[in-house]
């Protein structure tokens, strides 16, 4: 069976006196329940040519790890989807990478290209992570607006995130509710791991510096041995 658009189908049906316009609209759910279908076998065959062209597209993600950390130390994974139109990721990752390079804290930074096969790309990154224990995932989303927002179904992480933002002088909205796991769907790479979505509150403004300051403060706490977020 080949599904064609109304534009392609109409020339095939016109010789039989069939007009598709009355049927070219969105139906309400159950609108035609219990009614007889107008579809019928026309007793003819149509020939449709579908020209195909092979193209190759490449998605490249980058994974970097702060050097000089213990192999068995729990890692903080900073996950930044690459969306050029947004105030996101690459700038924050670069700032965080510069700040963490000399601290030897167990951080992994992922510049994630979600242009093509999401599941395949995430699986490849998981393979690259190997046996590293990931204790916390911080996902950077749209960082436009006047304040950071934190979304997580892990209520025990919320007080620490709000406190860290305050101590880092990062503009943020106090988190008033715990998210559901469904709110992480298609946003978090590893749904089974503790995850916090860091985003802006939208509108005019740029909170990339605030996200960088927050993650830098978290890294400082980690370097001091604080484990509010990792355990």
Kindly give, in sequence order, each residue whose CB lies less than 8 Å from that of residue 11, ignoring residues fewer than 6 positions away.
none
- pLDDT at residue 54, rounded to an integer: 87
Residue 218 and residue 76 in contact, taking contact as beta carbons nearer than 8 Å: yes
At residue 123, the 3 state secondary structure works out as helix
Question: How far apart are alpha carbons 20 and 23 in whole angstroms?
Answer: 5
Q: Which domains can be identified in the chain, with CATH numbers?
A: 62-223 (3.40.630.10)
Nearest Cα neighbor of 64 from 79, 74, 81, 54 is 79
At residue 228, the 3 state secondary structure works out as coil
Beta-bridge partners for 138: 78, 196
Question: How far apart are alpha carbons 76 and 81 in whole angstroms?
Answer: 16
Residue 77 and residue 45 in contact, taking contact as beta carbons nearer than 8 Å: no
Residues of the chain by 3-state class (helix, strand, coil), percent to 5? 30, 15, 55
Residue 78 and residue 111 in contact, taking contact as beta carbons nearer than 8 Å: no
- pLDDT at residue 194, rounded to an integer: 93
* Under-50 pLDDT residues of the chain: none
Kindly give, in sequence order, each residue whose CB lies less than 8 Å from that of residue 63, ignoring residues fewer than 6 positions away.
108, 109, 110, 111, 125, 128, 129
Residue 135 and residue 74 in contact, taking contact as beta carbons nearer than 8 Å: yes
Cα distances (angstroms) measured from residue 202 to each of 154, 169, 214: 23, 19, 18
pLDDT single digits (tens) 68-124: 888 888 999 999 988 766 556 677 888 888 888 777 889 999 998 877 788 888 999
Rg (alpha carbons) of the chain, rounded to whole number: 25
Q: Which residue reads 């903080």 in tokens?
A: 76
Question: How far apart are alpha carbons 206 and 84 in whole angstroms?
Answer: 14
């Amino acid at each position: 069976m080949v599904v064609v658009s109304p534009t392609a189908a109409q020339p095939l049906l016109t010789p039989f006196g069939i007009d598709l316009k009355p049927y070219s609209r969105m139906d309400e759910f159950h609108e035609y329940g219990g009614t007889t279908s107008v579809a019928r076998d026309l007793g003819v065959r149509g020939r449709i040519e579908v020209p195909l062209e092979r193209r190759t597209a490449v998605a490249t993600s980058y994974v970097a790890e702060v050097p000089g950390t213990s192999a068995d130390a729990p890692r903080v994974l900073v996950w930044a989807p690459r969306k050029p139109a947004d105030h996101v990721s690459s700038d924050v990752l670069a700032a965080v990478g510069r700040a963490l390079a000399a601290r030897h804290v167990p951080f992994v930074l992922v510049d994630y290209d979600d242009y093509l096969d999401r599941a395949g790309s995430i699986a490849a990154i998981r393979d690259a992570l190997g046996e590293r224990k990931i204790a916390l995932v911080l996902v950077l989303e749209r960082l436009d607006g006047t304040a950071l927002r934190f979304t997580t179904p892990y209520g025990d992480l919320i007080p620490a995130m709000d406190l860290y933002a305050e101590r880092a002088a990062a503009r943020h909205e106090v988190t008033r509710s715990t998210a559901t796991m469904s709110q992480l769907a298609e946003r978090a790479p590893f749904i089974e791991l503790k995850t916090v979505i860091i985003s802006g509150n939208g509108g005019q403004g740029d909170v990339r510096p605030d996200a960088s300051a927050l993650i830098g403060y978290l890294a400082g706490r980690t370097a001091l041995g604080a484990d509010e977020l990792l355990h």
